[in-house]
Structure 1
Amino acid sequence: MTVDSPLRRLRLRAPLLIWLVLIWNLLWGTWSWANLITGVLVALTVTVVLPLPVVAGGARIHPLPALYLIGHFLVNLTVSSAQVAWQTLRPSGIRQSAVIRVQLRTDSDLLLSIISQNLTLVPGSMVLDLDRRRMALGVHVLDVGDEADVERQRAEVLATERRVVRAFGSAEDIARLDQEPPQERATAPAAAEPTR
């Protein structure tokens, strides 16, 4: 059993403390010494009274893949917003939606959370289920016409996983990307249902 020194605990909490102080100052809308000092006091109080559980492994930021992830996310957000707007306004409406199950290769809680948020924040897709034990996501997607559309959506989820892992994963996580995702083909690959 190892005992953490107060200095090490403070170093591990520093990013959260800085983030909380930044949010505190943004909420007040002005930068002043009073807001900075009270922000530090509030951040320390929150982290001591309401400590967050330790995330195993943590994140490793790889700058170039992280920039690529952010750029791709912003482009995807813009394009998907326009597509969903068009699908809702066009006379034929949205054809069908589908719920697909996608096997992932990462088993990191943090990376699975980032992947899920990345997919859910983009209009037209939403993570409905995260099966941590099986490393699988259940994703609802809009406007699928046939099996090729379903496979294209599945490939996009796997591409999102690849971008997130390359941006924030460990060397082991990145090496696991070269493996094929474990297949669970006993269940149907997609369930499509009309949305009317």
Structure 2
Amino acid sequence: MTDDLPPGGGATGQPQGVPRAAPEPDGPMPVVGRGGRRRDQALALGWLVVAWMLLWGDVSWGNLIAGLLVGVAVLVFFPLPPVTFGGRFRPRALLVFLITFIAELVSASLHVAAVALRFGYRPRGAIIAVPLRVRTDLNLTLTAEVISLVPGTLIIDVDRVEGVLYVHVLDVRGPEDITGSRERVLAVERRIVRAIGSPAEVRRLDLEPAERRNHP
């Protein structure tokens, strides 16, 4: 397996020489009222129920009730840090994201199948570091989940402080494949932010790294 990261590491254990954006100044955390917390918990419960039913592969009243019970138990006994949604839903951009995701899912599945069926071929993999432009927990989570769902790519680590995703990619033949893989991750982030991000987050997509440092 080839590695996009140079050998060696710093005091924190992270590889040196990884291109990443400089730390951004943290703005004031938004104050979330009781209504906002209940809304976030309801959204989290809804996603947990959907995930439960997808795992079982059956839409039924029994799975719905079981999913609700499991979701409530997870939220009560394993509370997560609050992730408040401060973005804006854009139906057209969301539709573009869904269509593109399905197309990439089919294309990547065919590519992985072709690699698996190629007799005597040993694909090479690489681990690449991709600094995201929007470092919110929600964007990191959604981008990582979408990337992991596409065959041939897998998130192996997330640097929450620096906003960096470490991605394992399959079938790397040269530097152009590494560059293309990094661009695909950033394209996923761009489509997610344009679909549900705030106006400030959408503007950050077009800023250069130096500008992002001075544009909280």
* TM more than 0.5: yes
User: Aligned in 2, Cα 1:88/1:8: closer, same or farther, shift over 3 Å?
Assistant: closer
Contact 1:58–1:110 at 8 Å: present in 2 too? no
Aligned residues: 177
Partner of 1:113: 141
- Using the TM superposition, name which of 83-92 and 10-19 deviates more: 10-19
TM-score, length basis structure 2: 0.66
Q: Which structure 2 residues correspond to residues 16-31 of structure 1 after superposition, within 5 A? A: 16-18=44-46, 30-31=60-61
Partner of 2:82: 54
Deviations 1:86-112 (A, max 9, x none): 101102424311111122211111101
Residues 1:71 and 2:99 are matched in the alignment: yes
Q: 1:13 offset after TM fit, Å?
A: 3.5
User: Aligned in 2, Cα 1:181/1:117: closer, same or farther, shift over 3 Å?
Assistant: farther
Contact 2:169–2:181 at 8 Å: present in 1 too? yes
Partner of 2:125: 97
Equivalent AA in structure 1 for residue 194 of structure 2: R
Partner of 1:122: 150
Quick one: distance in 2 between partners of 1:163 and 1:3? 27
Q: 1:58 offset after TM fit, Å?
A: 4.4
Contact 1:111–1:168 at 8 Å: present in 2 too? no
Quick one: distance in 1 between partners of 2:93 and 2:202? 12
Q: 1:62 offset after TM fit, Å?
A: 1.8
User: Aligned in 2, Cα 1:180/1:84: closer, same or farther, shift over 3 Å?
Assistant: same
Quick one: distance in 1 between partners of 2:171 and 2:45? 42
Give 3-state SS (helix, strand or coil) of 1:123's partner. Answer: coil
Partner of 1:13: 41
Equivalent AA in structure 2 for residue 64 of structure 1: R
Q: 1:15 offset after TM fit, Å?
A: 3.1
- Which of 176, 185, 195 aligns to 1:148? It is 176
User: Aligned in 2, Cα 1:72/1:150: closer, same or farther, shift over 3 Å?
Assistant: same
Unaligned runs of 5+ in 2: 1-30, 211-216
Equivalent AA in structure 2 for residue 155 of structure 1: E
Identity level (%): 40
Q: 1:39 offset after TM fit, Å?
A: 7.9
Quick one: distance in 1 between partners of 2:124 and 2:41? 46
Give 3-state SS (helix, strand or coil) of 1:96's partner. Answer: coil
Unaligned runs of 5+ in 1: 183-196
Q: 1:14 offset after TM fit, Å?
A: 3.5
